[in-house]
Structure 1
Amino acid sequence: MQRVTNCILKDESKNQILMLKKPRYGWYVVPGGKMEQGESIKQSVVREFKEETGLDLINPELRGVFTFVVMDQLEIMREWMMFTFICDTSKGALFDYCKEGELEWVPIAEVLDKPMAEGDYFMFKHILANEHLLYGTFIYTPDDRLIDLNLDPPCQ
Structure 2
Amino acid sequence: MKRFRVALFACVALLLAGCLPTTVYYKEGAPVSGVARDHTQCDVDALRQVPVRTLTRYIPPTYSYRQVCNGAGACRTVRVILSPGRWERYDANEGLRARVARQCMADQGYEKVSLKPCPPEVVEATVITATRVQPPLTEKSCAIRIKGGKYQIVNPD
Query: TM-score normalised to the size of structure 2?
Result: 0.24
Higher strand share: 1
Instruction: Please state which structure has a larger fraction of its residues in helix.
Output: 2
Q: Tell me the TM-score normalized by structure 1.
A: 0.24
